[in-house]
């Protein structure tokens, strides 16, 4: 019991026995199959797995963008732990706005708005307290966006657009930042820059980052990696090398759903 309590306190997000099914009968797809995982606060965790293993579904469900069919999700926030399951849509919207940042592969910026307007948009919705100007300047400066603030997305490169999206996710100081393939559309140099910024968010701003990636080199930037296969956690690794992760991905692809001998299988990475 003591261990469980300690794990709960240290976890930024904990998911217990998540299930999710799309469709019915023979056409049913089960992207989450009794999935339990814990993401420690103040750390950078990568989520990897074969295509269709449930990574994006997990991110969306953990971030309150989609609802699981069963299981529990607990998010540690400034106001204490919040269970996402059972919240009304209105309550969920508030939790997303106040405690969650999300970075999408396709940036998802508002085309008619400047970079600055995009960055502060979530913070200005719903009567929320305005963004901390000092922190805004710090983030924008660290992300190299100071002289791009008045540009619209179409006037920015892909890498710059993703940096705006990273700034948007960080400025409100959410409890946790989810990133779903944030480097998937970027060239290698821009991708490395975004990864460096996510690392900075953890190391300098003390934030929690959970990132889905297909790229073993990108995952190696994280502190630990959770490997999914067939809707379950099959392995967790602390500070793995890119080579170890590439080998683990091959293994997960060939032994879908079967935990590797001697590996952690409870989903806990804290």
Ligand X SMILES: Nc1ncnc2c1ncn2[C@@H]1O[C@H](COP(=O)(O)OP(=O)(O)OP(=O)(O)O)[C@@H](O)[C@H]1O
Binding interface with ligand X (CB under 6 A): 22, 29, 31, 49, 51-57
The least distance separating ligand X from the CB of residue 212, rounded to whole angstroms, comes to 6
Place of tokens 């392995």: 235
DSSP string covering 102-167: EE-TT----TTS-HHHHHHHHHHGGGPPPP-HHHHHHHHHHTT-GGGTT--GGGS-HHHHHHHHHH
Token pair listed for 206: 């003390």
> What number of helices (H) and strands (E) belong to the chain?
9, 10
Q: Which is nearer to ligand X, 31 or 122 (CB)?
A: 31
In angstroms, what is the minimal distance from the CB of 59 to ligand X? 8
For residues 54 and 159, which CB has a smaller minimum distance to ligand X in the complex? 54
Minimum gap (Å) between residue 57 Cβ and ligand X = 3
Choice between 2 and 51, CB closer to ligand X: 51
> What strand order describes the sheet that includes 176-180?
100-103, 176-180, 209-212, 44-48, 224-229, 232-238
Q: 80-83 and 70-77: which strand pairing?
A: antiparallel
- Minimum distance of ligand X from residue 151's CB (angstroms): 30
CA distance 241 to 216: 8
Nearer residue to ligand X within complex by CB, 21 or 200: 21
Shortest distance, CB of residue 8 to ligand X, whole angstroms? 26
Which residue, 109 or 227, has its beta carbon nearer to ligand X?
227
């Amino acid at each position: 019991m003591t261990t469980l309590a300690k794990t709960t306190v240290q976890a930024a997000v904990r998911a217990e026995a998540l299930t999710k099914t799309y469709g019915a009968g023979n056409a049913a797809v089960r992207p989450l199959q009794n999935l339990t995982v814990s993401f420690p606060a103040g750390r950078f965790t990568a989520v990897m797995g074969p295509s269709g293993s449930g990574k994006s579904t997990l991110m969306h469900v953990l971030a309150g963008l989609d609802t699981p069919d069963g299981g529990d999700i607990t998010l540690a926030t400034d106001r204490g732990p919040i269970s996402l399951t059972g919240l009304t849509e209105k309550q969920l919207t508030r939790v997303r706005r106040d405690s969650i940042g999300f970075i999408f592969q396709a940036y998802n910026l508002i085309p008619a708005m400047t970079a600055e307007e995009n960055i502060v948009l979530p913070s200005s919705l719903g009567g929320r307290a305005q963004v901390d100007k000092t922190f805004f300047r710090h983030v924008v400066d660290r992300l190299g966006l100071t002289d791009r603030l008045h540009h619209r997305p179409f006037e920015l490169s892909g890498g710059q657009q993703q940096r705006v999206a990273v700034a948007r996710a960080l400025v409100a100081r959410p409890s946790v930042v989810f990133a779903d393939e944030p480097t998937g559309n970027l060239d290698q140099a821009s991708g490395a820059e975004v990864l460096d910024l996510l690392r900075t968010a953890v190391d300098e701003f003390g934030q929690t980052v959970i990132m889905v990636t297909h790229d073993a080199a990108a995952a190696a930037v994280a502190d630990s990696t959770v490997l999914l296969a067939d809707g379950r956690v099959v392995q967790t690794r602390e500070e793995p090398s890119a080579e170890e992760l590439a080998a683990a991905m091959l293994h997960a692809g060939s032994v879908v759903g079967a935990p590797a001998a001697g590996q952690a299988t409870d989903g806990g990475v804290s």
